[in-house]
Amino acid sequence: MTSPTLAGAAAANNNGGHLSEPTDGYGQAPAVGSNDTPRHPPYMPRPDVAGPGVAGLGWVQDVHVHSGPIYLRIVNTLERTINRGGLAPGQRLPSQRALAQQLGVDLTTVTRAFDEARKRGLIEARGPQGSFIAPPKAGFDQAVDLSMNVPPVPDADALADMLRRGAAAVLARSNAPNLMTYHLGGGNPTDRHAAARWLQPMLGTVDDARLLLTEGAQVALAAILVSQGREGDAILCDRLVYPGLLQAAAALGRRLVTVEGDEQGMCPEALARQARECGARLVYLNPTCQNPTALTVPTSRREALARVLEREGLLAIEDDPYWHLAVTAPIPLATLAPRHVFHVATLSKVISPGLRTAFVQCPSATHAEAMAAALRATRLMGHPLVSALASQLLLDGSAQTLLVQVREEARERTRMARYLLAPSLLERADGLHAWCRVPAPWTDATLVRTAQLQGLAIAPSSAFCPPGAAFASGVRLSLGLAADRRQLENALRRIDRLLLSDALPAIDR
């Protein structure tokens, strides 16, 4: 990130983009080789992960942590251990009898678990030699979507259990007819209390009169635009922005006017100058783990931007979906210029997009009333059942527990990107994505087409560019949607080799 976080990212880039010191747990320094040979050894998340040989029984203790049939708990624990790198391809598992004794279960239970593990492709049997961790699947199974920013799911079983318990609690404590009727406005008192609790680490104490809930950040963004302008108005923004802003602005007839920036984000002087020249009163900012460049604006620059907002009488939309994933995120703009900022936070990027829940702290109660009117005009009401589930998860601590797991997995994946992608390619990796330069003779368009032929979906810089704005070729690699770290490692290595290859495919000439 920026401040300490950007400093850490810069340090990684100065070290060749590879976290190669033994104390970091990433093995020896990367070796430089041909495109046919990996430039560095396999990514290892921890220095104590065993290599090929006989697997230990350390992973078995996690079987008792989860619920459900014991044979499935064995399989699911085995799968999680493999996915996080705790067991390597080619390692021989303990005998079924030894595992049964360790767990205190019947041999038939372990046999059933091994049968299920073989069906999933996790292990392979080699007759009298025993069972071994299977190699990663090849071919079409390795198609990976790196084009959509979605938080990783650290534990699918735990997520399912959390949702079941949350839904049961909602139905147990709620009056069903009341839950299923109309609920106008931006959230009931319980929803707002839950939202204020979630936002407290970011914003401190939140005024209920300024707080609204919406079905995701995109709905919030559109409602702010509707309530704060009219067709033909200009909106100031960075040269590369969240595609949802492009879509909302186009649908509502707003003009996007780009503002110059540097390695610390949007330039305050350029913002003031552009606002005066085009008469814009609204500016869009995504200052933490910016989408798509992964840039985090440091505190000093945020303070300067806040002064411009106050001096020029501007309103800002602070789109802040990744704040909870930052190692040391600077304080939001909304705390520096609270009467000039719509702060938008969402569960979509840190918990799950399926919860469709976002929180907006408006500059004032008057702004909140105008936005609530825009929400009623465009979607009348939210989804009471989904809102109640989200609030339940926030209030009982389940969401916070899952956030810790998502944050840990997301940070591990960004470390993988810094390690596996060449420093000449990787510009930044933070939050849920990495931003890469595209070297000549490639363009982002030719790279996207070629990557598609190899089963890799990536997002080009053109997808983030306002109409008519100039941009340099680049690609965003989303790190959360890969099924596990092995699949992500495979995809990042393929992208790395592709970008460093000298031969441009014939289709691009």
Distance of CA 131 to the CA centre of its chain: 36
1: pLDDT strictly greater than 60: no
CA distance 199 to 194: 9
383: pLDDT strictly greater than 50: yes
- 505 pLDDT tier (thresholds 50, 70, 90): low
Q: Looking at residue 178, what is its pLDDT?
A: 80
13: pLDDT strictly greater than 60: no
Instruction: Let me know: does 431 contact 352? Beta carbons within 8 Å.
Output: no
The residue-averaged pLDDT of 299-305 equals: 98
Rg (CA), the chain: 25
Instruction: Let me know: does 327 contact 5? Beta carbons within 8 Å.
Output: yes
pLDDT-wise least confident of 80-89, 219-228, 307-316? 80-89
Q: Which residue has the higher pLDDT, 62 or 365?
A: 365
Q: Looking at residue 481, what is its pLDDT?
A: 94
**Domain ranges (residues) in the chain:** 183-398
Instruction: Let me know: does 123 contact 134? Beta carbons within 8 Å.
Output: yes
CA distance 275 to 310: 13
The residue-averaged pLDDT of 51-73 equals: 74
45: pLDDT strictly greater than 60: no
Average pLDDT, the chain: 86
Q: Is the pTM of this model over 0.85?
A: no
Q: Which residue has the higher pLDDT, 15 or 44?
A: 44
CA distance 412 to 405: 11
449: pLDDT strictly greater than 60: yes
Own/partner pairs, 12-20, CB within 8 angstroms, 24+ separation: 12/418, 13/418, 13/423, 13/426, 13/427, 16/422, 16/423, 17/418, 17/419, 17/421, 17/422, 17/423, 17/425, 17/426, 18/418, 18/419, 18/420, 18/423, 19/415, 19/418, 19/419, 20/419
507: pLDDT strictly greater than 60: no
Q: Which residue has the higher pLDDT, 175 or 504?
A: 175
Q: Looking at residue 21, what is its pLDDT?
A: 30
- 39 pLDDT tier (thresholds 50, 70, 90): low
Convert the pLDDT of each residue in 401-440 to its tens digit. Answer: 999 999 999 999 999 999 999 999 999 999 999 999 999 8
Instruction: Let me know: does 235 contact 283? Beta carbons within 8 Å.
Output: yes
Instruction: Let me know: does 257 contact 213? Beta carbons within 8 Å.
Output: no
Instruction: Give me the numbers of helices (H) and strands (E) for the chain, helices first please.
Output: 17, 17
16: pLDDT strictly greater than 60: no
Backbone angles phi, psi at 251, to 5 degrees: -65, -30
The DSSP H or E segment spanning 500 is helix 485-500
141: pLDDT strictly greater than 80: no
Instruction: Let me know: does 371 contact 223? Beta carbons within 8 Å.
Output: yes
The residue-averaged pLDDT of 154-168 equals: 88
- 48 pLDDT tier (thresholds 50, 70, 90): very low
Convert the pLDDT of each residue in 169-193 to its tens digit. Answer: 999 988 888 888 887 778 889 999 9
Please report, rounded to a whole number, the percentage of residues in the chain having pLDDT higher than 90. 61
Q: Looking at residue 158, what is its pLDDT?
A: 84
List the alpha helices (DSSP H) in 95-180. 96-103, 107-119, 156-173, 176-179
Instruction: Let me know: does 145 contact 477? Beta carbons within 8 Å.
Output: no
Q: In CATH, what number does 183-398 get?
A: 3.40.640.10
Please report, rounded to a whole number, the percentage of residues in the chain having pLDDT higher than 70. 86
Q: Which residues contact 50 (CB under 8 A, 6 or more apart)?
A: 56, 87, 88, 91
Name the DSSP letter for residue 232.
T
